Chains A and B, each alone.
Chain A
Amino acid sequence: MAEIIEQDIINSSVEVGSGCEWTGKGVEPQWNNPKSTKAYDHIARHHGPKLKPHELMGRATSSNKDQGQWLDSEDWIIAEQLIPKYSGKYIIDFQRPIGIVYHPDGTITESVTCAKIKRNPNGTLKYGYPVLKS
């Protein structure tokens, strides 16, 4: 059973996200499609399972910051469904392996179970990537 282990809710007065009324610009994103640029753009491009290890390692080195990679794109859809329907920042523990974390020193941590997620005021996900449990 997944668990929210840290949260910083920005606005708890309006429910947003899948299953809620769409208040953003244009048409509602396809929440159940991991390729939805509107809902999940930077997650797929910068942390998706199709990225090659050297790309994640390169980003970890150049930014001097851990870089997480999802194993399965369906998991960011699940994350969107599991976090509260409020804009804010969350750390969710799936309690099963969902990703890999590449460290700036070139080492790798596999079988990572947590992910850091931010939900925008319109409900879409601003970012989302696997992280080590702090």
Chain B
Amino acid sequence: MNNSQKFHFKLGERFLENYAAPPEDPLGELSHFEMAIRRFCFEYDHKVSIEIGDEKIQVFLDPDICMILEDDLPEQIKKLSQGKPIEIDFAESCTLSIKLVPTDDRISCTLSKFGVSGWEKVFEFDRTHVLNTLRGFLQEVMQLAVDKGYITLFEKDEFIRPAFASSTDAAVLSK
């Protein structure tokens, strides 16, 4: 177990290469909001750097962050704030699972790679620091989607609300 304060999700520079097909919904299965997030991540792609302990990885809004937003990141953050374990899974620009297990005021963070036997690293972080990092990143990305006209402020606030709603989280109670 490594004790560390390096748990960062940082929105980086624009990424101007489009290496995927544009988002489409030929069967009309997605909501306006779901398509808007896909279009934003594709048309306004950015690099995202993630630093956990001594591990540094780079992912992109499209598809990596788009996929964790589709996994309902705000609800995941809410679960974590309520003391429940969550898993953030990246499989496109890297192959990495981030398992976060809260215990009192600490969070155990296990990095592992599916399909690669034996690769696992475990870190421990301050719980409030992890929650604030994830909330801050979520807020920043979704605000950019608002600023660029893909979603409304109301849609953003509705989407991110669960991440800030937990009454059991000391970080929220102190505000």
Question: CB within 8 Å of B: which residues of A?
Answer: 6, 8, 26-27, 29-30, 33, 35-38, 41-42, 44-46, 48, 50-51, 55-56, 58-59, 62-63, 65, 89, 91, 116, 118, 120, 126-127, 131, 134
Contacts and interface: CB of A to CB of B under 8 A. Distances in A.
A48 B19 CA distance: 12
A59 B19 CA distance: 6
Contacts of A65: 93-95
Contacts of A42: 63, 67, 92
A51 B114 contact: no
B63 A56 contact: no
Interface stretch (B20-28, B132-140, B158-166): B20-28
Nearest to B24: A37
Contact of B20 (A8, A45, A89, A120): A45
Given A45-B63, A116-B91, A127-B67, A35 B27 contact: yes
Nearest to A33: B27
B92 A29 contact: no
A48 B21 contact: yes
A45 B23 contact: yes
B19 A134 contact: no
Contacts, number: 85
Contacts of B23: 41, 45
Interface in B69-97: 71, 89, 91-95
A33 B19 CA distance: 24
Contacts of A120: 71
A45 to B, nearest CB: 5
A22 to B, nearest CB: 12
Contact of B21 (A51, A91, A127): A51
A64 B21 CA distance: 20
A35 B89 CA distance: 24
B34 to A, nearest CB: 9
